[in-house]
Chain A
Amino acid sequence: MAVEFDTSSEKFTEYADPSRLVTPDWLQEHLGEPGLVVVESDEDVLLYETGHIPGAVKVDWHTELNDEVVRDYLDGEGFAKLLSRKGIGRDDTIVIYGDKNNWWAAYALWVFSLFGHEDVRLLDGGRDLWIAQGREITTEVPQRAQTEYPIVERDDSVLRAFREDVLVHLGKPLIDVRSPEEYTGERTHMPEYPQESSLRGGHIPTAKSVPWKRAVADDGTFKSRKELDAIYRDEIGLNEGDEVIAYCRIGERSSHTWFVLQHLLGFQDVRNYDGSWTEWGSSVRVPIVAGSEPGDVPAAR
Chain B
Amino acid sequence: MTELHTPDTLAEIRDEFLELEENERLQLLLEFSRELPPVPDDFAANPDQYERVAECQSPVFIAAEVADDDTVVLHATAPAEAPTTRGFASILVQGINGLSAEEVLAIPSDYPQSLGITRAVSPLRIAGMTGMLVRTQRQVRALTAV
Query: Which A residues contact B (CB, under 8 angstroms)?
Result: 43-47, 49-50, 62-63, 68, 99, 192-196
Contacts and interface: CB of A to CB of B under 8 A. Distances in A.
Contacts of A194: 54-57, 124, 127-128, 131
Nearest to B83: A46
Nearest to A196: B124
Interface residues of B, number: 28
A50 B80 contact: yes
Given A62-B122, A194-B128, A44 B82 contact: yes
B54 A192 contact: yes
A64 B81 CA distance: 21
B77 interface: no
Interface in B109-142: 119-122, 124-125, 127-128, 131
The B interface, classified by DSSP as helix, strand, loop or mixed, is helix
A248 to B, nearest CB: 14
Contacts of B124: 62, 194, 196
B83 A44 contact: yes
B59 interface: yes
Nearest to A66: B122
Contact of A50 (B30, B52, B56, B127): B30
A74 to B, nearest CB: 15
Contacts of B58: 44
Given A50-B83, A63-B121, 19 more contacts: A44-B57, A44-B83, A45-B120, A45-B121, A46-B84, A49-B30, A49-B83, A50-B33, A62-B125, A63-B119, A68-B119, A99-B81, A192-B52, A192-B54, A193-B54, A194-B54, A194-B57, A194-B131, A196-B124
B27 interface: yes
Contacts of B128: 194
A63 B30 contact: no
Contacts of A195: 54-55
B95 interface: no
Nearest to A192: B59
Contacts of A43: 57
A46 B131 contact: no
A108 B104 CA distance: 40
Interface string B76-107: 00001111110100000000000000000000
A49 B24 CA distance: 12
Nearest to B54: A194
- Which of A44, A68, A99, A196 neighbours the largest number of chain B CB atoms within 10 Å of its CB? A44
14 contacts: A45-B120, A45-B122, A45-B125, A46-B87, A47-B82, A49-B26, A50-B30, A50-B83, A63-B119, A68-B119, A99-B81, A193-B54, A194-B57, A194-B124
B63 interface: no
Nearest to B117: A45
Contact of A46 (B29, B54, B59): B29
Contacts of A47: 81-84
CB-based closest 4 A-B pairs: A62-B122, A46-B83, A194-B55, A46-B84
Nearest to A50: B83
B95 to A, nearest CB: 19
A44 B81 CA distance: 8
Nearest to A250: B124
B55 A46 contact: no
Given A43-B57, A192-B59, A195-B55, A49 B122 contact: no
Interface in B39-85: 52, 54-59, 80-85
A46 B57 contact: no
A147 to B, nearest CB: 20
Nearest to B59: A192
